[in-house]
Structure 1
């Protein structure tokens, strides 16, 4: 009988670091998922149209994208532990300021500050944990721990947000972050290993001047696609086109100066980094695009309120949570390719029922399907995020973390924009509930198409797990 090879143990210091990072990371994930259902309430309470209050999320997203590329330089300049605590402090202060906002412009401005803190934290979470393991030992299970906030966010974030909006003022949406930030700072100070700055590296100002407006242009343009006109809108194609030109120029400059580059894009020559980035782009499109469709489906087609829609999505988060440990163990023992393909197959198969559903489809059946879909989501993200760091040196890890985070961010923006246009075109002129439901069918089939393409790209992922280096120090087994 064929048995699955045993996965190597994860070092204790890596486990402790990952768990400490999770505490602070929960603040960022909860904040983004809570805000997803708060826009209508904010629009009413602050007396501004939804088109204005939408900038509460758009400005945060843009600031997030601008902050991510400087993480590698900043870590080398001040050290990873210190940078994590600085970023978490920025996020804490910004959260308190958001709760004290007196109008929409002040709230948007404070959200920009929040986005800067969050943008520094997200790639740093993976970097600090992975740098604690020798030669990538136990990357799958380690990534399952580091990305735990991403699984808990969809379960608890919208539900907590709905409860707060039902029984308290919207300002409490931001006070939820404070306990996580304070606890995260105390634990980081006590348990994250200190790492000294690596000299005084010079900031690549040319790269920063190119990549910052490039990301702003692409993300801003894609955020406007959901409005009338879609991709034909001038405020869509012009900033996206300018952003793509600047991004091309950025890549060229980075290739020409590998030693002082803001982001070492030369890592894309590695099969593991390139294939992981490609799959993360497509998974971002599939995952975030469907995250746009599902709440709208439950509210528009099923007639639920925001809290009801959020509760309907809880099984998907539970499924993602259930598959994490299993996906991590199999990634370490049999390799990323087969785990990722299996995850995408499950996720795609569990999306098809929504492409065949209508307003009368049994809701318990849909919740069961979402549980299975979430299981596939969790199984996908662990191997794909882990494989990018196989065989990397200590100083290469921050750059790989930046590259993968940006590709996932851009993929999510692209998938959301494309599915928004598909949904708009499919429901244009719809006069009955059946017509609207039919429009969602088209959009869900498009989401299934993203998944099918991603399965094909997954075959480029490395098939074998990371080898255990002979020099690896003794490690303790992962706790149950």
Structure 2
């Protein structure tokens, strides 16, 4: 085992599984932590973009295939439901196949699905291929996060590594509509999917060369009853919320209310089972660790308010200000640019200062910026003032999203990383469905009243009132953020420059 730095008696922690080395194991090789993070970010960016890039093309696709908008909506909804269905099994699959091998399988499946979607001949085939994409894409983020947790733990730079992983989450909602609008207007809707082919193939090639191999741990059996409760339960909740956001009755409609109730019942049954069996699908006992539990609740509230509100800005620019899809996306760019920049700064600070001093001010700053945008969102407000408000919101978002996850996972061991990353990704997925559904229902009611008034100011007022809900939910994340650790991070053995190559033993680890 390689010794730590001179003068440090503690051994350097090696990244890999806890299983002993066996004949035929891959040889020890050096891995650069930043290179690993770069591969994970590339794959995550591709899958996150795909959740938003098709939203601007729903109307053109409905005309292309001559089907109702309610049918073509399932191009987006089917992808989201597939993500929700596959994420719960990811922790088990990482043990069964190994994180590196599963990542390659997931990216390969996503890339194949992308190519087939670009060749779709009708709405039904496109929806089916989008589901195939989602089955692969749903595993990319939790598996990538688990790999980064394991690699970053050796360096003691969880914040810096997580800040890189957070870039796709922030860039996707901003860049997706812009890129999708340009491809549909200038080239063809098929290139929304074909564009994933070179990026996906490049990611697979780089992942084979750079990601550290790890040993499968197939001894743990798949909790089939738990899987049959959690995956359909999450899918039913998201399906019901999606239907509620599409209709005029909201959750009052049986087609939305009943799936939500059934989904909640299934998820509740899973929780009871997970707390009583020895080998559950997902170890919820990890939530007994305060940092992880606090981080999950903070993420649930903040992501719900953030992603719900992000639906409003492009729609406000298009409906109230009469801009094109492309221009509305560009006007939202200050948020993504500010968030991405601040995330890199905050990700490095959180490795040195108490996490609460970054995450809590970030929540308050993001809510303040969003409130400032809502208060000014009139029919004639200068774009500069609105852009400044979005930049303030983005600055706060960059201080919260991945720094919060870094603080939540800092004490997680390599063995628990798959379950922890899956838990956090399920939280984000559910929040990402609840937020837009909640905002869409509120907005539908507001626009119905304002359209009857026939006044642009009344239309703008409908958006302003809807923003209040997003601001309140986002600000509520400050309450759990108060419980985030106020102590500086403890130094970790092997702490050193992030770019320093790490000695990775694929089947052996000293993290015991």
TM range (shorter): over 0.9
Q: Distance in 2 between matches of 1:212 and 1:395?
A: 23
Is residue 281–residue 409 contact of structure 1 (8 Å, CA) maintained in 2? no
2:18 counterpart residue number:
none
2:130 counterpart residue number:
111
Taking the TM superposition and a 5 Å limit, the aligned residue runs for 1:401-416 are 401-416=421-436
Per-residue deviation, residues 142-179 of structure 1 (Å, max 9, x unmatched): 10112222233234322221211111110010011112
Per-residue deviation, residues 204-223 of structure 1 (Å, max 9, x unmatched): 10100101110111000111
**Pairwise CA distance, 1:476:** 2.4
Matched, 1:50 2:69: yes
1:426 counterpart residue number:
446
**Pairwise CA distance, 1:477:** 4.2
2:365 counterpart residue number:
346
2:257 counterpart residue number:
237
**Pairwise CA distance, 1:87:** 0.3
Q: Distance in 1 between matches of 2:341 and 2:497?
A: 23
Is residue 154–residue 314 contact of structure 1 (8 Å, CA) maintained in 2? no
**Pairwise CA distance, 1:412:** 2.0
Q: Distance in 2 between matches of 1:198 and 1:14?
A: 23
Matched, 1:328 2:347: yes
Which one has a bigger Cα radius of gyration?
2
1:442 counterpart residue number:
465
Q: Distance in 2 between matches of 1:474 and 1:296?
A: 46
1:454 counterpart residue number:
477
Is residue 136–residue 391 contact of structure 1 (8 Å, CA) maintained in 2? no
Match of 2:51 among 32, 36, 43: 32
User: Is the partner of 1:48 in helix, strand or coil?
Assistant: coil
Matched, 1:132 2:155: no
Is residue 284–residue 409 contact of structure 1 (8 Å, CA) maintained in 2? no
Q: Distance in 1 between matches of 2:124 and 2:498?
A: 50
Q: Distance in 2 between matches of 1:350 and 1:17?
A: 34
Is residue 353–residue 489 contact of structure 2 (8 Å, CA) maintained in 1? no
Is residue 218–residue 243 contact of structure 1 (8 Å, CA) maintained in 2? yes
Matched, 1:363 2:383: yes
Matched, 1:264 2:283: yes
Is residue 317–residue 323 contact of structure 2 (8 Å, CA) maintained in 1? yes
Per-residue deviation, residues 51-89 of structure 1 (Å, max 9, x unmatched): 111101111000000110111111101111100000000
Shift in alpha-carbon separation, 1:229–1:141, aligned structure 2, 3 A: same
1:275 counterpart residue number:
294
Match of 1:305 among 324, 327, 330: 324
Relative to structure 2, which stretch is displaced further, 305-314 or 98-107?
Answer: 305-314
Structure 1 runs (4+) deviating above 6 angstroms are none
User: Is the partner of 1:388 in helix, strand or coil?
Assistant: helix
What TM-score do the two structures reach when normalised by structure 1? 0.94
Is residue 284–residue 408 contact of structure 1 (8 Å, CA) maintained in 2? yes
**Pairwise CA distance, 1:288:** 0.8
2:408 counterpart residue number:
388
Is residue 135–residue 392 contact of structure 1 (8 Å, CA) maintained in 2? no
**Pairwise CA distance, 1:425:** 2.1
Q: Which has the higher contact order (CA 8 A, sep 6+)?
A: 2
Q: Distance in 2 between matches of 1:147 and 1:179?
A: 22
Alpha-carbon RMSD across the aligned residues, in angstroms, is: 1.7
**Pairwise CA distance, 1:387:** 1.9
User: Is the partner of 1:133 in helix, strand or coil?
Assistant: helix
Match of 1:475 among 482, 487, 496: 496
Q: Distance in 2 between matches of 1:13 and 1:79?
A: 19
Q: Distance in 1 between matches of 2:346 and 2:152?
A: 19
Is residue 33–residue 499 contact of structure 2 (8 Å, CA) maintained in 1? no
Per-residue deviation, residues 387-426 of structure 1 (Å, max 9, x unmatched): 2212112111111111111111112211222211221222
Matched, 1:379 2:399: yes
Taking the TM superposition and a 5 Å limit, the aligned residue runs for 1:49-198 are 49-134=68-153, 137-198=156-217
Is residue 222–residue 236 contact of structure 1 (8 Å, CA) maintained in 2? yes
Shift in alpha-carbon separation, 1:191–1:326, aligned structure 2, 3 A: same
**Pairwise CA distance, 1:474:** 5.6
Is residue 130–residue 136 contact of structure 1 (8 Å, CA) maintained in 2? no
**Pairwise CA distance, 1:197:** 0.4
How many equivalent residue pairs? 467
**Pairwise CA distance, 1:325:** 1.4
Instruction: Indicate the structure with greater helix content.
Output: 1
Is residue 34–residue 173 contact of structure 1 (8 Å, CA) maintained in 2? yes
